[in-house]
């Protein structure tokens, strides 16, 4: 058992002083007590808050960050970016994926994310042939998360078609493609693998309504345990919504909800272009809307009606998706700034309960993220996994403000080095702003990036 005393900690009741945190041998919080004298405790120096769940990741895309920013034609779009992304997807080996994912997950920890939902559809080898029964790519992801020390909800993803109306997959999609039966068999194999890894679990996942039908989704959901989360890319691009309207005479969520129950197990990624009635349905269902503010900005997706969604009781969380950048504060800042630019207002997503914009966004994304990952995370409370970040209170910008401005100062004003250390399941992974393996990992990362970029 480990005991710590934090001068300041953000609990479900808000900031508290002199908080004693007791952590059991499994890495869970067994006791948490404010205003404690701290006897027999290791003394922390910073302000402690929960680590953020990252609800949407395609780890391999980190390898192309910064390389999709040159104009290829006057109409560069999500779809032309996707062609570039497919080239990386076609090339990357299990060993390269391990290195890219491990160093990405280390960056996530440094940026304040302590667990990640990996939306994984890169199943087969470069020729589109399954790895002889042993899921080398999924195994690379799982090992990368274990070795980086981040919590993982692995989401093996069903991908069967290239578009609505069961359009056949293109050859550039050959590493993704499975039938429902192949997918279910893969889940069975992965259950064995993941059960051996601490702080990891599985969820069900469907790439999009372009890539699988509601009938397939129904069949899979019927066979999964009822506590598994379910993820799907919903309505990211106007073009896909229009195609759905053309083929099915209704919008994606309407189409899905005719045959599948939408409930709190669901996390709808990029619900960007849903209608008002779909938004109402989603809010009522208690599903999470998975927002990826920096990627959605980077890809030119559009802005979600997040204020109206929240005011109807909707749940949100954040993901770094394509990993154009890997930082909790940057994601939340982008989320708020998108709304400010759109509505020409300030502190747009703050609320009566939370006048601090950063606090509102953090609290919502902790809750939604924990729900979407289906893990005991997102709060500093008894029974939760001991996943937390420590803000550097030696930093003048943080040390000089009262606690009511602390979260806003981190998220909006302080860009570098605010996070001093990070713990996952009771183990320190980041100290003095860097992951413990930062140095030794740099050489492997450089070599892998050179291979992939040559």
Q: Which residues bind ligand NGQ (CB under 6 A)?
A: 58, 82, 208, 233, 236, 270, 295, 299, 321-322
Assess whether 321 carries a catalytic annotation. Answer: yes
Q: What is the DSSP string of 52-114?
A: EEEEEE-GGGGGGTTSS-S-SSTT--HHHHHHHHHHHHHH--HHHHHHHHHHHHHHHHHTTEE
**Measuring CA to CA, which residue among 452, 444, 413, 450 is closest to residue 102?**
444
H runs (alpha helix) in 231-275: 238-248, 252-259
Least distance (Å) from ligand NGQ to the CB of residue 269? 7
Least distance (Å) from ligand NGQ to the CB of residue 139? 20
By beta-carbon proximity to ligand NGQ, the closer residue of 79 and 428 is: 79
Least distance (Å) from ligand NGQ to the CB of residue 43? 43
Tokens 């619900």 sit on residue: 271
| SS3 of residue 158 by DSSP | strand
The catalytic residue among 301, 321, 327, 408 is 321
By beta-carbon proximity to ligand NGQ, the closer residue of 105 and 119 is: 119
The catalytic residue among 58, 120, 270, 435 is 270
Residues 6+ apart with CB under 8 A from 340: 346, 348
By beta-carbon proximity to ligand NGQ, the closer residue of 37 and 238 is: 238
Rounded distance between C-alpha atoms, residue 292 and residue 374, angstroms: 19
- Taking CB atoms, the residue at the shortest distance from ligand NGQ is 58
Rounded distance between C-alpha atoms, residue 141 and residue 313, angstroms: 34
Helix/strand/coil percent split, the chain, to 5: 40, 20, 40
| SS3 of residue 23 by DSSP | strand
Residues 243, 237 contacting (CB under 8 angstroms): no
By beta-carbon proximity to ligand NGQ, the closer residue of 139 and 236 is: 236
Rounded distance between C-alpha atoms, residue 154 and residue 228, angstroms: 11
H runs (alpha helix) in 374-437: 396-399, 403-408
Nearest 5°: CA angle at 358, between 357 and 361? 90
Assess whether 273 carries a catalytic annotation. Answer: no
Least distance (Å) from ligand NGQ to the CB of residue 211? 7
**Measuring CA to CA, which residue among 448, 338, 345 is closest to residue 94?**
448
Least distance (Å) from ligand NGQ to the CB of residue 78? 7
By beta-carbon proximity to ligand NGQ, the closer residue of 172 and 351 is: 172
Residues 6+ apart with CB under 8 A from 207: 121, 157, 158, 159, 176, 232, 233
Least distance (Å) from ligand NGQ to the CB of residue 229? 18
Tokens 């300030």 sit on residue: 346
| SS3 of residue 335 by DSSP | helix
By beta-carbon proximity to ligand NGQ, the closer residue of 323 and 435 is: 323
By beta-carbon proximity to ligand NGQ, the closer residue of 208 and 216 is: 208
Least distance (Å) from ligand NGQ to the CB of residue 295? 5
Least distance (Å) from ligand NGQ to the CB of residue 150? 20
| SS3 of residue 360 by DSSP | helix
By beta-carbon proximity to ligand NGQ, the closer residue of 58 and 265 is: 58
Looking at the DSSP bridge assignments, the partners of residue 206 are 158, 232
Neighbours of 27 (CB within 10 A): 18
By beta-carbon proximity to ligand NGQ, the closer residue of 322 and 365 is: 322
Least distance (Å) from ligand NGQ to the CB of residue 322? 6
Report residue 71 as tokens. Answer: 């104009």
The set of catalytic residues is 270, 321
């Amino acid at each position: 058992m480990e005991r710590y005393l934090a001068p300041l900690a953000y609990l479900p009741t808000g900031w508290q002083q002199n908080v004693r945190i007791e952590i059991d041998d499994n890495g869970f919080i067994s006791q948490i007590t404010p205003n404690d004298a701290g006897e027999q405790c290791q003394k922390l120096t910073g302000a402690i808050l929960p680590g953020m769940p990252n609800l949407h990741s395609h780890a391999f895309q980190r390898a192309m960050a910064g390389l999709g920013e040159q104009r290829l034609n006057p109409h560069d779009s999500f779809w032309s970016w996707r062609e570039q992304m497919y080239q990386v997807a076609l090339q990357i080996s299990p060993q390269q994926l391990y290195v890219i994912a491990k160093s990405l997950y280390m960056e996530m920890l440094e940026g304040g994310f302590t667990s990640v939902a990996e939306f994984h559809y890169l199943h087969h080898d470069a020729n589109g042939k399954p790895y002889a029964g042993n899921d080398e790519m999924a195994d690379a992801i799982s090992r990368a998360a274990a070795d980086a020390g981040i919590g993982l909800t692995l989401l093996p993803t069903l991908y069967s078609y290239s578009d609505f109306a069961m359009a056949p997959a293109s050859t550039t999609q050959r590493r993704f493609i499975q039938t429902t039966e192949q997918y279910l068999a893969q889940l069975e194999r992965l259950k064995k693998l993941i059960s051996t890894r601490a702080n990891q679990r599985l969820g069900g996942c469907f790439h999009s309504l372009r890539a699988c039908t509601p009938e397939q989704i129904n069949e899979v959901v019927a066979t999964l345990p009822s506590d598994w989360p379910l993820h799907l890319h919903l309505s990211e691009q106007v073009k896909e919504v229009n195609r759905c309207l053309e083929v099915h005479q209704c919008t994606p969520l309407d189409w899905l909800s005719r045959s599948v129950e939408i409930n709190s197990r669901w996390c709808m990624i990029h619900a960007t272009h849903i209608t008002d009635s779909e938004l109402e349905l989603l809010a009522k269902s208690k599903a999470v809307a998975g927002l990826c503010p920096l990627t959605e900005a980077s890809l030119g997706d559009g802005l979600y009606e997040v204020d109206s969604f929240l005011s109807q009781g909707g749940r949100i969380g954040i993901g770094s998706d394509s990993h154009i950048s890997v930082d909790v504060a940057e994601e939340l800042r982008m989320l708020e700034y998108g709304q400010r630019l759109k509505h020409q207002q300030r502190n747009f997503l703050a609320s009566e309960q939370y006048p601090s914009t950063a606090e509102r966004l953090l609290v919502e994304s902790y809750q939604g993220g924990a729900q979407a990952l289906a893990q005991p995370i997102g709060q500093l409370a008894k029974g939760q996994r001991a996943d937390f970040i420590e803000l550097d209170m030696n930093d003048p910008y943080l040390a000089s403000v009262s606690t009511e401005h602390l979260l806003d100062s981190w998220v909006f004003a302080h860009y570098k080095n605010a996070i001093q250390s990070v713990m996952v399941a009771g183990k320190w992974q980041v100290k003095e702003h860097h992951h413990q393996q930062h140095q030794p990992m740099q050489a492997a990362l450089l070599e892998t990036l050179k291979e992939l970029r040559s």
